[in-house]
Amino acid sequence: MRVIPAIDIIGGKCVRLSQGDYNTKKVYSESPLEVALEFEAHGIRYIHLVDLDGAKAKHIVNYKVLETIATKTNLKIDFGGGLKSDEDLKIAFESGAGQITGGSIAVNDPDTFLGWIETFGAERIILGADVKDERIAIAGWQQESDKKLIPFVKDYQKKGIRYIICTDINKDGMLKGPATELYKRLLEETKINRTVVTMSGVEDVKIPGICLIASGGIAGLEDLPALQEVGCEGAIIGKAIYENKISLKQLEHFILSV
């Protein structure tokens, strides 16, 4: 399972919110680059970089932060927040993003989102399925749509999406544990039936259908094996790192063990 620290950006600074509420903003560092370099020094290879200004403005804003981290580290960066147009996507990839996450656009403009999958490939486009009471939330989590999580994900799965980031907004930033049971159910519902030949004959089996990245609520190191056990491909960790609930040394050891 991949360990993916989050760096959320407002005004060029590294911040964290609770439950997506901008009024709860807490600044943890004036330099996102220094944070990224520290992650890299502890064996971390991936980060989830979120342009919170972009999410509000509905277009990419903090691409210079992305460019700086991409050019001064070897981290593989998933970038999200405010990506609404082909031009936004072009800027994100040219600035160094390895993958991008689309959330609101997947609800409001599915044709454009599906066009991104066709143009750039399913390996580079992540579906942001952020939920509140199991309904998809959009517009920087400020609005709740009428779409339910599992049918929404299954529909995009049929259209070629492979990577999903699912954040339970009620748990985000609360340090009370992730939505492990929700992820377990989502992974079970998206499994694919396959007929395989084994030593004992032909068998029908179910195999994983999506790469699910868990996000929100991680409170301690013990949450990571639990997410790994249910089948999550990755885990995004934010406030638990910044509030010293999980040390970078602990993450370094965990990465070496998986």
pLDDT in tens, 21-60: 888 999 999 999 999 999 999 999 999 999 999 988 999 9
Do 183 and 233 form a contact (C-beta atoms < 8 A)?
A: no
Angle of CA points 162, 241, 150, to nearest 5°:
30
Which of 8, 51, 53, 172 does the annotation list as catalytic?
8
**CA nearest neighbour of 49 among 67, 71, 26, 25:** 67
| Residue-level pLDDT at 221 | 97
User: φ, ψ for residue 3 (rounded to 5)?
Assistant: -100, 125
Local structure of 249: helix, strand or coil: helix
**Catalytic site residue 21?**
no
| Residue-level pLDDT at 185 | 97
User: φ, ψ for residue 113 (rounded to 5)?
Assistant: -65, -45
Domains and CATH numbers, the chain: 2-257 (3.20.20.70)
Q: What pTM, to 2 d.p., does this model score? A: 0.93
Positions of the chain with pLDDT under 50: none
**Catalytic site residue 130?**
yes
Distance separating alpha carbons of residues 196 and 202, to the nearest angstrom: 6
| Residue-level pLDDT at 141 | 64
Which of 51, 53, 130, 223 does the annotation list as catalytic?
130
Unique residue bearing structure tokens 């998933």:
78
| Residue-level pLDDT at 200 | 79
**How many CB atoms neighbour CB 66 within 10 A?**
24
